[in-house]
Amino acid sequence: MSAQASAGPANVTAIDTFALTRSFGETLAVDHISLAVPHGEIFGLLGPNGAGKSTTIKMLTTLLEPTSGTARVAGFDIVATPAEVRRRIGYVPQMLSADGALTGFENLALSAKLYGMARAERNERIVEALQFMGLADAAKRLVRTYSGGMIRRLELAQAMLHRPSVLFLDEPTIGLDPVARHTVWDRLHELKERYGITVLITTHDMDEADELCDELAIMHQGKIGVIGQPAQLKSGLGEGATLDDVFAHYSGGSISEGGNYGDIRRTRRVASRLG
């Protein structure tokens, strides 16, 4: 992981959206949002269920075409050059993406083939990824025997194998216990500090947003309500305000939302229907 996929045209931002919009019939899921995410930043996209967070990520990862507007990711337009965008991103969705019938090593080997990595460098990359995520000792175990935190770290390893410029995480620690959650946070901090990767996450966990995010945006009914650094947003509401208070103020709502392989699969299946 010493190098990243080459970025596109020189730009100080890793992600730019321009009046990005997505409708489903008469429902406006994402309503002309514009934001800019600097390179090397962990950026949080917060909001209540149905706010449009997951739809936004699906557009930015080229899984869903915008109804109007566009965006640039790693310097490339998601509408005009989606293949170039896909070469430069990693994506960990809410839904379980690791195969429980395979070992950790086999999951990564499959990802390496799908990314088109040269056979000569696959093993070295896989071993490095397993070590970085603290999974070397579990590499030959079936993933169905992993804890939820181990699965999430494996999915991060899968998404990082091709050394992307931008990493998208949809609810990165949903369903995890506090210890596993903090382990994932540590890995994300290290990815940012060691490799300069840009990370965009969605989360309902205000502690997670406060701990991880350099900057965040709160969405409500498809629109961006506010953008800023966590400390600035809290101070803007007065002394003693928490990020929960900020969330409630700008989204008009409250926060509601936590294993083994079966537990995390069920939790994410429910979460995917709510996002």
Per-residue pLDDT of 140-162, as tens digits, reads 999 999 999 999 999 999 998 99
Does residue 153 fall inside a structural domain? Answer: no
User: Which pLDDT does position 175 carry in this prediction?
Assistant: 81
3-state secondary structure at position 58: helix
Q: Are 31 and 223 in contact (CB under 8 A)?
A: yes
Q: Region 194-207: what's the mean pLDDT? A: 92
Q: Region 33-48: what's the mean pLDDT? A: 95
Does residue 135 fall inside a structural domain? Answer: no
Does residue 5 fall inside a structural domain? Answer: no
User: Which pLDDT does position 187 carry in this prediction?
Assistant: 87
What mean pLDDT, rounded, does the chain reach?
A: 88
Q: Region 40-50: what's the mean pLDDT? A: 94
3-state secondary structure at position 199: strand
Per-residue pLDDT of 14-30, as tens digits, reads 999 999 999 999 999 99
Per-residue pLDDT of 64-109, as tens digits, reads 999 999 999 999 999 999 999 999 999 998 888 899 999 999 999 9
- Tell me which of 250 and 262 has the higher pLDDT: 250
For the cut 60, the answer to whether the pLDDT of residue 254 exceeds it is no
Report the chain's terminal Cα–Cα distance, integer Å.
31
CB within 8 A of 151, min separation 6: which ones? 96, 98, 143, 261, 264
Does residue 123 fall inside a structural domain? Answer: no
Total number of domains in the chain? 1
User: Which pLDDT does position 6 carry in this prediction?
Assistant: 52
Does residue 116 fall inside a structural domain? Answer: no
Q: Which domain holds residue 29?
A: 13-93+167-274
User: Which pLDDT does position 270 carry in this prediction?
Assistant: 46
The CATH code of the domain that includes 65 is 3.40.50.300
User: Which pLDDT does position 219 carry in this prediction?
Assistant: 95
Total residues belonging to the chain: 275
The DSSP bridge partners found for residue 200 are 43, 168
Does residue 225 fall inside a structural domain? Answer: yes
Does residue 158 fall inside a structural domain? Answer: no
User: Which pLDDT does position 28 carry in this prediction?
Assistant: 96
For the cut 80, the answer to whether the pLDDT of residue 261 exceeds it is no
Does residue 187 fall inside a structural domain? Answer: yes
User: Which pLDDT does position 41 carry in this prediction?
Assistant: 95
Q: What percent of the chain has pLDDT over 90?
A: 69
3-state secondary structure at position 188: helix
For the cut 80, the answer to whether the pLDDT of residue 35 exceeds it is yes
Per-residue pLDDT of 109-135, as tens digits, reads 999 998 888 888 999 999 999 999 999
Tell me how far apart the alpha carbons of residues 113 and 109 are, in angstroms, rounded to a whole number. 6
User: Which pLDDT does position 256 carry in this prediction?
Assistant: 47
Enter the tokens of residue 274: 């709510």
For the cut 80, the answer to whether the pLDDT of residue 273 exceeds it is no
